[in-house]
Structure 1
């Protein structure tokens, strides 16, 4: 019997359960995928607490965790072209991905290059795609300097690498424990914590041209003081209202298969490493989520689903 890791109501970890699931079927414009790997992201546990994107639909409970998967097409829905049973794909599921099977809309599903593993592909549709969208949104010239907060997390790791691939200098804010890791990506490390702006000014006395925030709250506000042009302030860690109050904006997500193709190409070309640092079986989904929810994840966490 297929399985899925779900939350049965909104709340804390006590709402989570591994359950048996009837095999879903794809609707028009969708494909059913046998999941091989599913990425774990902070938004997963936040959705369990009741968070949803502005304007987004309420989740039907119990709800399956997960927002990015890679796997093999098992069934093709009506009005679908370009995909066939047996294709290896990755993308954003309709309603969760910590499961044996997931339904994906073809609009946000891409063919997985043969050179890309399922585990690495599953790490791209949320974190790497968000990073790609943000770097493209800032549209900085080669030689400019960007400050990236939360540089040691899933989105941050990708954002540092993508910015560096475009010739942009990166000041990466992360904990002291992630200093060597952040520097290995090609960024100048600045420790997180109170007094951030002063440390950034010391590391970049000529100033920073943009801020890509992945933390939110007070970090976003302090980072904003480093900019003269607040249109170069973007965040994926705070609300649109918080960003606009400071003169910035949320990362504008494209959510297209074309973006997935681009980030996959960056990986295949060797310019982006997904940095999957831990993988867990579906039966270990609770531990995978705690690793991310507790803020101790370094790089990306992925759940591997047994065939």
Structure 2
């Protein structure tokens, strides 16, 4: 049997529980992974709450988590690119990641570089992959300026680093408590909320080349005027509002290819997930609560002891 942490029905944190489950067996195109670390993301509590039930079919009890790093423990039929013992990281899909063993598809993983820890690698597949795809979509060049609306979280931190690596200047909206973190990443922090448009104009009087929005709603409307070209507004949070402003929803690349590019950036130190809090599997509820509160800076990771 395998220890895991998940939820028994859609709802609030009261539906979460430790689980004792049979070890899964890999099918065609799948790999069984011995999990060393699992990333914690806002999408985890959104799935638990039922907000994404129309887009994802789950069987209860369901294991929480969507990103892992670990070693290959078994190969499904037809898998040839990997061998038992290989170190990988990637996205688990509906299988869940807060567990000792999980299944991943070969098209949703990449090899973990030896110089990147399991803890850091586990924090890359969701946030960093999202950031990478968004930056690719905007096709920014060295000397451009990017506004990241909501720069203090995992996606914002990764997007800032990727943009700075490409020579792009970054301005980021964030709470005052996260200004130091945003500035340390190489971005100019701007406090969100009332008066943000005026503060943004003072920081970038000539406007910005593009906007990566991670918040949506009124927060996007308030800063949209800073974009010199409204077509260069990309959102991960609110496609309807972005479209009404002339922008677009994020376009996702091939996940395995994106993860391979992220691995290269992480391997030579140009991209760090900035893991801020580390929990054990037995503390998984606390880990998810830290993310669900909205106050976490950088990434939260569960380490399998």
The alignment partner of 2:126 has SS state of: helix
Give the superposition deviation at 1:19.
0.9
Within 2, Cα distance between the matches of 1:53 and 1:130? 21
1:198 corresponds in structure 2 to 198
Q: Contact 1:52–1:58 at 8 Å: present in 2 too?
A: no
Give the superposition deviation at 1:17.
0.5
Within 2, Cα distance between the matches of 1:230 and 1:18? 47
Matched, 1:184 2:153: no
Matched, 1:61 2:60: yes
Give the superposition deviation at 1:82.
0.8
1:231 corresponds in structure 2 to 231
Give the superposition deviation at 1:283.
0.6
Within 2, Cα distance between the matches of 1:93 and 1:219? 31
Within 2, Cα distance between the matches of 1:126 and 1:274? 11
1:6-56 residue CA offsets vs partner (Å, 9 max, x unmatched): 1111111011111111101111001000100000010110111112287x3
Matched, 1:242 2:248: no
Within 2, Cα distance between the matches of 1:79 and 1:245? 46
Q: Contact 2:47–2:53 at 8 Å: present in 1 too?
A: no
The alignment partner of 1:263 has SS state of: helix
Within 1, Cα distance between the matches of 2:53 and 2:228? 29
Matched, 1:78 2:80: no
1:30 corresponds in structure 2 to 30
Matched, 1:263 2:262: yes
Unaligned ranges ≥5, structure 1: none
Give the superposition deviation at 1:246.
2.3
Give the superposition deviation at 1:60.
2.0
| TM-score under structure 1 length normalisation | 0.96
Give the superposition deviation at 1:165.
0.5
Unaligned ranges ≥5, structure 2: none
1:146 corresponds in structure 2 to 146
1:47 corresponds in structure 2 to 47
Give the superposition deviation at 1:162.
0.4
Matched, 1:11 2:41: no
